[in-house]
Chain A
Amino acid sequence: DAGVIQSPRHEVTEMGQEVTLRCKPISGHNSLFWYRQTMMRGLELLIYFNNNVPIDDSGMPEDRFSAKMPNASFSTLKIQPSEPRDSAVYFCASSFRTAMNTEAFFGQGTRLTVV
């Protein structure tokens, strides 16, 4: 398996523009997580899905952020409009939940710069 695939790897955009980050989880995994990593705040959980359903979006910073998972093999995180403080590395991770296992497998991340 190719692992969790995120695109793009790098994104530079101007303030006010819409940004869409994409994620393809590992085939067969039933949970998907979006994290944001910054120097100041570390690794924050933004939202997670189980069986394509959003379970907890309490980490989404504001209404400018939205996430969807239309099917088991694809998810998007959208920021509209983007602001400089959204600059961070965004990670997608997936896992296959069993009674004994919930470890998450991470993608390589998308480094977002909003200027």
Chain B
Amino acid sequence: AQSVTQLGSHVSVSEGALVLLRCNYSSSVPPYLFWYVQYPNQGLQLLLKYTTGATLVKGINGFEAEFKKSETSFHLTKPSAHMSDAAEYFCAVSEGIRDDKIIFGKGTRLHILP
């Protein structure tokens, strides 16, 4: 069965600094990987996804993530943090064509310091 580990339940960065949110996954088949963002009192919104092909994936709001099979990682980055990036971020995995089930990590709350 697939699983996701997000390192750090809280991450704080200064405005303008690099954002790095870590995600490691486990999957018995080639995975589909996702990053979602959740703002307070709202549902989850897709930031970006990896299915096949190019391992560096670009998403909305300047975020990107790189699929590294050898490291079973899918870390999320953004070169320069903005105050509006403060939210909770979830990494998720599915077993692609084999199974629709999408399993989420426990989330990382991103704090932006002025």
Residues of A within 8 A of B (CB): 4, 31, 33, 35, 42-43, 45, 48, 50, 55-56, 91, 93, 95, 97, 99-109
Q: Of residues 56 to 114 in B, which have CB atoms within 8 Å of A's CB atoms?
A: 90, 94, 96-97, 100-107
Which residues from chain B contact A101 at a C-beta distance below 8 Å?
Answer: 51
Q: A91-B43, A103-B34, A108-B43 are in contact. Are A42 and B101 (CB under 8 A)?
A: no
Contact A42 B102 (CB under 8 A): no
Contact among A33, A91, A99 for B97, CB-based, below 8 A: A99
Q: Which residue of B lies closest to A42 (CB)?
A: B106
9 A–B contacts, CB within 8 A, in A order: A31-B100, A43-B106, A48-B100, A100-B52, A102-B102, A103-B46, A103-B49, A104-B46, A108-B43
The 10 closest A-B pairs by CB, nearest first: A106-B43, A42-B106, A43-B104, A106-B44, A31-B100, A108-B43, A100-B51, A102-B94, A103-B46, A103-B49
Distance (whole angstroms) from the CB of A50 to the closest CB of chain B: 6
B12 within 8 Å of A by Cβ? no
Which residues from chain A contact B36 at a C-beta distance below 8 Å?
Answer: 106
Distance (whole angstroms) from the CB of A5 to the closest CB of chain B: 11
Interface size class of B (residues with CB under 8 A): 20 to 34
Contact B105 A104 (CB under 8 A): no
Which residues from chain A contact B52 at a C-beta distance below 8 Å?
Answer: 100
Which residues from chain A contact B102 at a C-beta distance below 8 Å?
Answer: 33, 45, 93, 95, 102, 104
**What's the Cα separation between A106 and B52 when bound, in Å?**
23
Distance (whole angstroms) from the CB of A40 to the closest CB of chain B: 10
Q: Which residue of A lies closest to B44 (CB)?
A: A106
Q: A33-B102, A43-B107 are in contact. Are A108 and B42 (CB under 8 A)?
A: yes
**What's the Cα separation between A42 and B103 when bound, in Å?**
11
